Amino acid sequence: MITTEIKKRFPILDQEVNGHPLVYLDSAATSQKPDVVIEAVKRYYENDNSNVHRGVHTLGNRATDEYEGARQKVADFINASSVQEVIFTRGTTTSINLVAQSYGRANVSEGDEIVITMMEHHSNIIPWQQLAKETGATLKYVDLEDDGTLSLDKVRETITDKTKIVSVMYVSNVLGTKNPIKEIAEIAHQHGAVMVVDGAQAAPHLKVDVQDLDCDFFAFSGHKMCAPTGIGVLYGKKALLEDMEPVEFGGEMIDFVGLYESTWKELPWKFEGGTPIIAGAIGLGAAIDFLQEIGLDNIDRHEKHLAAYAMEKMSEIDGLTIYGPADPDLRAGIVTFNLDGVHPHDVATVLDMNGIAVRAGHHCAQPLMKRLDATATARASFYVYNTEEDVDRLADGLRIAKEYFSDVIH
Amino acid sequence: MSSINLDQLYRRVIMDHYKNPRNKGELSDGGLTIDMNNPTCGDRIHLTMQVEDGIVKDAKFDGEGCSISMASASMMTQAIKGKSVGDAVKMSKSFSDMMLGKDLDDSLDLGDIEALSGVSQFPARIKCATLAWKAMEKGVGDDVNPN
């Protein structure tokens, strides 16, 4: 059971913005950080800061233990079969680029296909566009259904024996749709393709089991799940990662360096060139402990409830369109909307003046916006610290926006 | 209560330009064409201008965006018509200064456009207001300096 007590664990939420208590509804962009994460990073810098994997001294050992301890927490969190399958990156974007540049360049050639969907975030479009251009492969899109879901029939029609990579987001950052990753992975595998999952909006909110999903790669970011910015994860199946070449070369990732040839460390370190984001990884470890203490199933249920409550409250407002599946069971805690006659930027400004933070724009998903025939939308996204009261404030704020603009416009 | 008030942003004259945009559309007879986006939010403007002997004879805009970006485009096209390219660019600089909250040069009368001065208190919206002006500067810049 998630109570309002959890909000108190997030110091930033205890403030007024423009004269109103802050209601933060932009967690899909980045989440706020609980006290334990802030303390973990502070404690590391105050007590243990040192470089990892090199010092003989005590601080070096402590930093290494904490950094590698965080990796173990990540492995357990997503149920990876080995800690060697967890690579620390800068975030989801870096993780997907690593797959495209390493696995992609080695395994995709002219005439091959890469399959993604119309709902992807730019970070799961552009790396594949670039790979397709570079290799002469074809980039194919699975279209959406009108209710904002993916149809497995269309997935089956799009993936062929020429398909080498299928890459799909687990949860849509715009529509909130939860996609049937396990089923899509199965179809990809039937055709000999690998399955890449953009888990940026999933890992913070629902229980992820990479073995059950049977995905080949899974990418996510720390900052959307209570951890600091700058830390992310790429999970990959060990057999695939072992055959892959690093994309960044330099310190930390080498085994032996000669004048003209060098060899790489074993997994996962061969992919972690340079001094890693040590404090970020430790912060991510603390965030995972925090989320697991609450329970991912509880978080999922809480957000689904808030999204359903928001959809109910918002549907009472005339002229308000909600995008994505109408069935709350098909979606996560993201509600994207437009208020008729009022541009989403203007909606967001009025809400901000009432202390409510929402996102307005194209949400880094321009092809999807085009598909929805919307140039921009506003988005409220919920997390563990949001409450029904926050939703009520949002609904009140939307009424204020509507009234304000009807006064000024008409 | 907050010291910043929505009415400082959404002045009546701005909303009038948003609701009844002046010079909306496209000039049919060639001239200068500029397309510009605000990639962070998706606002977009399509500006066409007819410049003869260093004078902006006509200007029209089309596009999609919030009230601030569209009202600003409407006001901008109205303001530059009949002006020399040099004066139009000077107005644009003056507009940018206004967005930064700087005092305005008294010799330039921005007229209705001064209603947009409130935008300076909403930093996230400054790029909305300056989009049309940037497009205009780009257009006449290309014209004045073909290289």
CA contacts within 13 A on the Cβ side of B68: 32
Phi, psi of A20 (to 5 degrees): -130, 150
Residue A201: CB atoms within 10 Å: 29
Indicate the pLDDT class of residue B147, thresholds 50, 70 and 90: very low
What does the alpha-carbon distance between residue A70 and residue B54 come to, in Å, rounded to a whole number?
A: 65
* pLDDT interval class at B144 (50, 70, 90): low
Which residue(s) pair with B38 in the sheet? B43
Q: What is the pLDDT of residue B29?
A: 79
> Can you give the pLDDT at residue A260?
95
Chain A residues within 8 A of B64 when measuring between CB atoms: 375
The H-or-E segment that residue A256 falls in is strand A254-257
Active site residue A215: no
A119-123, A327-331, B37-41, range with greatest mean pLDDT? A119-123
Instruction: Based on the fold, state whether residues A91 and A204 are members of the same structural domain.
Output: yes
The answer to whether residues A236 and A91 belong to one domain is yes
> What distance in Å separates the CA atoms of residue A32 and residue A216, rounded to the nearest whole number?
30
> Per-residue pLDDT tens for A112-127?
999 999 999 999 999 9
> A113-117 and A163-169 as β-strands: parallel, antiparallel, unpaired?
parallel
Residues A300, A288: one domain? no
How far does B55 lie from chain A, in Å, by closest CA? 34
- Model confidence at B145, in pLDDT bands (50, 70, 90)? very low
- For residue range B92-106, what is the model confidence (pLDDT) as tens digits? 999 999 999 887 766
- Tell me: do A182 and A301 sit in the same domain: no
Distances (CA, A) of A410 to A230, B13, B65: 46, 13, 19
Identity of the residue in A19, A343, A369 whose CB atom sits nearest the CB atom of B66: A343
Q: Where are the domains of chain B?
A: 6-144
Residues A255 and A143 in one domain: yes
Residue environment code for B17-28, b if the CB has 16+ CB neighbours within 10 A, otherwise e:
bbeebbbeeebe
- Which pLDDT tens digit goes with each residue over A354-374? 999 999 988 899 999 999 988
Selected for mutation to probe chain A from B46, B66, B121, B122 (highest A CB count within 10 Å) is: B66
Domain end marker among A265, A292, A319: A292
CA distance A290 to A298: 13
**Mean pLDDT, chain B, whole residue set:** 88
Q: Which residues of A touch B5 (CB under 8 A)?
A: 353
* pLDDT over 90 (residue A410): no
Domain membership of residue A25 (yes or no) is no
Closest CA to A218 of A95, A315, A309: A95
Supply the DSSP string of A263-290, one letter for each residue.
EE-STTGGG--SS--HHHHHHHHHHHHH
pLDDT of amino acid B3:
52
Residues A58-74: pLDDT tens digits?
A: 999 999 999 999 999 99
The three-class DSSP label of residue A115 is: strand
Q: How many domains are contained in chain A?
A: 2
Question: For the residues A155-161, what does the mean pLDDT come to?
Answer: 98
Q: Which residues constitute the domain of residue A225?
A: 37-292
A344 found inside a domain = yes
Residues A236 and A278 in one domain: yes
Partners of residue A353 in chain B, C-beta under 8 Å: 2, 4-6
Per-residue pLDDT, averaged over A156-181, amounts to 98
What is the architecture of the domain spanning B6-144? Alpha-Beta Complex (3.90)
- Nearest alpha carbon to residue A252 among A80, A389, A67, A58: A67
Q: What is the pLDDT of residues A179-227, one digit of tens each?
A: 999 999 999 999 999 999 999 999 999 999 999 999 999 999 999 999 9
Kindly state whether A401 is in contact with chain B, defined as any CB-CB distance less than 8 angstroms.
no
- More confident call, A407 vs B49: B49
Burial of A409 (0-12, 13-18, 19+ CB in 10 A): middle
Q: The tokens 């802030």 sit on which residue?
A: A38
CB-based contact, A38 to chain B, within 8 Å? no
Please give the torsion angle defined by the CA atoms of residues B139, B141, B142 and B144, in that order, rounded to the nearest 10 degrees: 120
Of B126, B87, B127, B128, nearest to B108 by C-alpha is B87
Q: What is the rounded CA–CA span in Å between residue A18 and residue B121?
A: 12
**Confidence tier at A56 by pLDDT (50, 70, 90):** confident
Q: Are residues A367 and A254 in the same domain?
A: no
Q: CA torsion B76→B77→B81→B85, rounded to 10°?
A: 60
* Residue A148 shares a structural domain with residue A52: yes
- Rounded percentage of chain A residues whose pLDDT exceeds 70: 99
Please say which residue of A292, A310, A332 terminates a domain: A292
| A269, A305: one domain | no
Tokens 């990579």, located at residue: A165
Residue A180 contacts residue A152 (beta carbons within 8 Å): yes
In a domain, A138, yes or no: yes
Contacts of A19 in chain B (CB under 8 A): 1-2
Does one domain contain both A235 and A301? no
Q: Last residue of a domain, which of A274, A292, A310? A: A292
Let me know whether A153 and A67 are in one domain.
yes
Q: Calculate mean pLDDT across residues A380-388.
A: 97
Note the pLDDT tens digit of each residue in A10-44: 999 999 999 999 999 999 999 999 999 999 999 99
| Size of the A and B interface in Cβ pairs below 8 Å | 56
CB contact under 8 A, B2 and A361: no
Give the count of beta carbons closer than 10 Å to the beta carbon of residue B100.
9
Query: What burial class does residue A183 get, using C-beta atoms within 10 Å of its C-beta: 0-12 exposed, 13-18 middle, 19+ buried?
Result: middle
Q: How far is Cα A299 from Cα A204, in angstroms, rounded to an integer?
A: 9
- Please indicate, yes or no, if residue A32 is contained in any of the structural domains: no
CA distance A67 to A367: 38
Q: Cβ of A349 and B124 within 8 Å?
A: yes
* Separation between Cα atoms, residue A112 and residue A125, nearest integer Å: 17
- Chain-centroid distance of CA A235 in Å reads 13
Lowest mean pLDDT among A123-132, A305-314, B41-50: B41-50
Q: Is A133 exposed, middle or buried (0-12, 13-18, 19+ CB in 10 A)?
A: exposed
Q: What is the pLDDT, as a whole number, of residue B143?
A: 53
Q: Are A402 and A159 in contact (CB under 8 A)?
A: no
Q: Are strands A359-361 and A356-357 parallel, antiparallel or unpaired?
A: unpaired
Which neighbouring-strand residues pair with B45?
Answer: B36, B63
Q: Are residues A79 and A132 in the same domain?
A: yes
ipTM score of complex: 0.85
Question: Is B2 a residue whose pLDDT tops 60?
Answer: no
- Residue A93 — pLDDT band, cuts 50, 70, 90? very high
